[in-house]
Amino acid sequence: MFISTTILIVYLFPKSGKFKYNFERGKPWQSENLYAPFNFAIKKSEEEISAEKNKILEQSVLYFNIDNTVRKKINNLYDNQFKSVFSDSISKVESTLLFTTGKNIISELYKYGVLSEDYEFDKNKAVVILDNRVKKQTTSFDNLITQNEISAHISKHLVKHNFLNYKTDFVALFFDIIEPNLSYDKAFTERALQSELSKISYARGSVEKETLLISKGEVVEGDKFLKLKSLQSEYESQVWSDANYNLILFAYTLLVSLALLMLLLFLRKYRSDVFENNTKVTFIFFNIFLMVLITTLVVNYNSQYIYVVPICILPLIFKAFFDARLGLFAHVITVLLLGSIVPNSYEYMFLQIIAGIVTILTVSELYKRANLFISVGQITLIYIIAYFAFFVIHEGSAESLNWETFLLFILCGLATLFVQPLIYAYEKLFGLVSDVSLLELSDTNSKLLKELANVSPGTFHHSLNVANLAEASANEIGANAMLVRVGALYHDIGKMVNPNYFTENQSTGINPHDELTSKESAEIITDHVINGIEIARKNNLPDRVIDFIRTHHGTSVVYYFYMKEKGINANVEKADFSYPGPKPFSKETAILMMCDSVEAASKSLKNPTSTKINDFVENIINKQIDEGQFLNANITFKEIESIKKVLKRKLANIYHLRIEYPE
């Protein structure tokens, strides 16, 4: 997994050398005086090149081919058809004038030519008319006649000679004989345009080696900015030849593997349970790779949108499934990796790390929807404040502040809200459990808990009491209260197999253990752990919840039946009357063991007083400590004492103890 993730991330990284200086237009040069390390050309800016291209496009020429045979053909047709259109009743003088007018109209129409179709070109566009690929004449597109303009030209000439009453005759005549003689030569026009574009120079001079490019503190603008951009481009492309490619690749691999190795070492030292679980390690590496992939795609598309990528989803997800410390550590590692991809890496990393810290500090109880919205609002505010501070530091004022960047931060905050459906998807894909799932499992109307309430009502009531005690205890010492509550609700579901063999479910006064040997009774009692695990697996309960079923009695002894058997047989094996274990291995499972024992035994208290309850809680929990039940749990003596105080206070409330007033 380590090697695969390293290869995938390095594959996404740029394979050229990275210019070691960060700079922005209009901001001071922060590094020492920079001299040209080699000769290089000063490249024109994108705006300059774009302006030159636009100018060439505006001044480009349109080429049309002319058919010289058309005009001669039109003249012959006109000579032949004129007499058939105009009657002999017209006087000879008028007929001559009409004939001459028609000739003038033809000359006017074919002065430059008639277009074969309508083209949507600028009327001022220059036009070259070609005759057999040879330039014949030059004009503007506005002088070329379209089919729709023929009637207007006829009217203009007829008005001039007061022959407007003959318009219908002329239009009918020309409609039959007029033909286009100009056709647009698109291929020739495109070749001519490309030829002009190819003449554009992308450089505007050169810089000699050892020339001072910029001094420390100077503002990066104008010609200095162009020189720096040219040097950066040259440095990242031409300087790094094929011979350097493998070396650059090796260097990136070292950096990525070093970062991921730190994460693995952290897991091994402080989160061994996660380190030993391949699914969880895969989940962590997958999310880191996913963030690198998304950021790389955005940078390649347009680097100004990098702040839209919701990097803070990462600590949110890791906190939901693991803990805050792991979430922050993984977030920092990811941001360090992204520093090799994004522009202005220092500013980017500062903003993202601060935002990650705020995410960890503000997000609590993610299953509460309001908390997520509040946290996302705080994260967005931190982004805006930090960006504003950086901008003022670089610019010296806030006058030219780009307000669109604030919109990007708001979009990033909205995208962070996607963490809720993402957590649900991850739960299904990786089989992990978050607080959101635990909240669903804590619903007492769920199928399994309703079955427990129907089959074993006493056990269900006991589980509710234990859940309340355990939740209060977990809150006291900062453990996962939601997890321990769910574990408490399901810890005794195994009693549904033989409910009548447990005292809390015996309502008839008949005890079935009276007909069994002590060993058989102990076996039925201890089997509720195994039965509970089987029922939990059939109902697809998460492993984190099943852990509470396995450990809530640890390796303790069924003391009542053990002592009963010992009274009969002094050589009794203690293992025959012990639970299979294992012992609790977390704060939450240790809390459940304490609360379960105290709640169950509290039913035997007669005439409880504060002193009795104090001694009672002390004896039960101290006995568990003496038996070594908490040796595998990361719980301290101080935390155990805090739990004792909570249990004493809760039991006093349950039994409604009051101080005794003097009579």
Query: Domain residues of the chain, as ranges?
Result: 57-196, 244-426, 435-654
| Amino acid 469: pLDDT | 95
Average pLDDT in the 517-544 region? 91
Amino acid at 38: F
| Amino acid 89: pLDDT | 65
Average pLDDT in the 104-120 region? 85
Rounded to 5 degrees, φ, ψ at 15 are: -95, 10
Higher pLDDT, 179 or 464: 464
| SS3 state at 470 | helix
Average pLDDT in the 162-168 region? 73
Dist. CA 50–CA 567, nearest whole Å: 101
Residue whose pair of structure tokens reads 């982004």 in the numeric block: 383
CATH for 435-654, options being 3.40.50.1700, 3.40.50.2300, 1.10.3210.10, 1.20.120.790:
1.10.3210.10
| Amino acid 238: pLDDT | 54
Query: Confidence class of residue 625 from pLDDT cuts 50, 70 and 90?
Result: very high
Quote the mean pLDDT of the chain: 84
Query: Confidence class of residue 243 from pLDDT cuts 50, 70 and 90?
Result: low
Residue whose pair of structure tokens reads 């568990």 in the numeric block: 624
Dist. CA 364–CA 375, nearest whole Å: 9
pLDDT tens-digit map of 11-26: 887 665 556 666 767 7
Dist. CA 460–CA 466, nearest whole Å: 10
Average pLDDT in the 553-576 region? 84
Residue 239 has pLDDT above 60, yes or no: no
| Amino acid 662: pLDDT | 55
Dist. CA 182–CA 513, nearest whole Å: 112
Query: Confidence class of residue 549 from pLDDT cuts 50, 70 and 90?
Result: very high
Query: Confidence class of residue 535 from pLDDT cuts 50, 70 and 90?
Result: very high
Dist. CA 353–CA 182, nearest whole Å: 68
Residue 283 has pLDDT above 60, yes or no: yes
**Mean pLDDT comparison of 6-20, 75-89, 414-428, 632-646, highest-scoring range:** 632-646
Contact 246, 17 (CB under 8 A): no
Structure tokens given for 190: 């495109």
| Amino acid 15: pLDDT | 60
Query: Confidence class of residue 656 from pLDDT cuts 50, 70 and 90?
Result: low
Query: Confidence class of residue 449 from pLDDT cuts 50, 70 and 90?
Result: very high
Residue 391 has pLDDT above 70, yes or no: yes
Residue 241 has pLDDT above 60, yes or no: no
Higher pLDDT, 622 or 89: 622
pLDDT tens-digit map of 468-496: 999 999 999 988 898 999 999 999 999 99
Closest CA to 594 of 437, 421, 485, 466: 466
Average pLDDT in the 528-539 region? 94
Query: Confidence class of residue 237 from pLDDT cuts 50, 70 and 90?
Result: low
Residue 585 has pLDDT above 80, yes or no: yes
| Amino acid 124: pLDDT | 87
| Amino acid 588: pLDDT | 93
Closest CA to 528 of 621, 456, 615: 456
CA distances from 332 to 252, 253, 328, 586, 648 (A): 18, 18, 6, 27, 43
| Amino acid 264: pLDDT | 94
Helix (H) or strand (E) holding 129: strand 126-131
Query: Confidence class of residue 331 from pLDDT cuts 50, 70 and 90?
Result: very high
| Amino acid 505: pLDDT | 84
Dist. CA 453–CA 496, nearest whole Å: 9
Average pLDDT in the 643-657 region? 84
Closest CA to 17 of 295, 256, 244: 244
